[in-house]
Structure 1
Amino acid sequence: MSTIAFAPLTTADSEILITAARRAAEAAGVAVSVTVLDAGGHLLAFRRDDRAVLIAGETSTRKAYTALQLNAATADLVDLVKPDGPFHSLPTALDRPLLFIAGGLPIHRDGHLIGAIGVGGGAPDQDHGFAAAALDEMSR
């Protein structure tokens, strides 16, 4: 029997992610909240800009949770839960904090799902871009 080792998401990784997402948001003039979850869905890091709307904290966390649970970018899931989509009942069928709005991304290392990031506070496309910028920074 062989085992494959891979490094889990660390608090140091989460700080890189938070800083990079906030830097991208600041460059765009947007106040955001950023949430980073580990592979088990546990909070590793959270930051809310002083000027971010309060609900951004909840949306960033739910976006991260959704990306983690479905191992997909939340931007890619939006059409699936529309009334004519194949998963239209998913948001109400489960008693889970899912949110199908762009801004959540799963985080992979060596082909393994190790966590997720969620960004809230901007327009959905902006939040997605801020999260993607954070992942790009972490992969350097």
Structure 2
Amino acid sequence: MSTTATTPLATADAEALIEAARRAAETAGVPVSVTVLDAGGNLLAFRRDDRAVLISGETSTRKAYTALQLDAPTADLVDLVKPDGPFHSLPTALDRPLLFIAGGRPLHRDGRLIGAVGVGGGTPAQDDGFARAAVEELGGS
């Protein structure tokens, strides 16, 4: 049995994630907010572009939290919470609200969940693409 420890998400990682998401968003001309959470759901880094809509800060954080708690990209969860979906009551079942809109992605290292990134400010498809660019920058899944 291996007891090799996985290196946790560091501040430098979080800053690289934010920068990668912002670069992708800037290329598309979309002002965004980006949130990075560690494995415990604690805020590790946050950045809101000056022109990003104010609510994007909240949505980026909730997307990251949802991706972390369910260990899945939020884009993959949207259909599960529709009125006829198997988890339709999940968005209101917890004290801390989850957000089932594309733009949140879990972060893995050595096959283990180490945190999540969330992006808000663009369309759901854009936010998901910006979050994916951040995860790819970190070399994760």
- Normalised by the length of structure 2, the TM-score is 0.97
Task: Give the whole-Å Cα distance in 2 for the aligned partners of 1:62 and 1:135.
Answer: 17
Aligned length: 140
1:97 Cα offset (Å): 2.2
The residue aligned with 1:96 is: 96
Q: Does 1:40 align with 2:35?
A: no
1:128 corresponds in structure 2 to: 128
Partner AA of 1:66 in structure 2: T
Separation (CA, whole Å) in 1 of partners of 2:117 and 2:13: 11
Q: Scaled by the length of structure 1, what TM-score is found? A: 0.97
Residues 69-105 of structure 1, C-alpha deviations (whole Å, 9 max, x = no match): 0000000000000000000001111112200000000
| Amino acid aligned to 1:75 | A
**Could you say which residue in structure 2 is the equivalent of 1:3?**
3
Give the alignment of 1:1-140 within 5 angstroms: 2-139=2-139
Percent identity between the two aligned chains:
81
| Secondary structure in structure 1 of the residue aligned to 2:25 | helix
Deviation at 1:2, TM superposition (A): 4.7
Give the letter aligned to residue 104 of structure 2.
G
Per-residue CA deviation, residues 38-95 of structure 1 (Å, 9 max, x unaligned), is 0000000000000000000000000000000000000000000000000000111111
Q: Which runs of 4+ in 1 moved over 2 A?
A: none
Matching residue's letter, 2:98:
L
- The code of the aligned residue for 1:98 comes to L
Mapped partners of 1:91, 1:121: distance in 2: 20
For structure 2, the 5+ residue unaligned runs are none
User: What is the CA RMSD across the aligned residues, in angstroms?
Assistant: 1.1
Q: Mind listing any 5+ residue stretches in structure 1 that lack a counterpart? A: none
What SS does the aligned partner of 1:67 have? helix
| Offset at residue 138 of structure 1 (A) | 1.2
Letter in 1 for 2:86: P
Secondary structure in 2 matching 1:6: coil
CA offsets, 1:19-53, max 9 Å, x none?
A: 00000000000000000000000000000000000
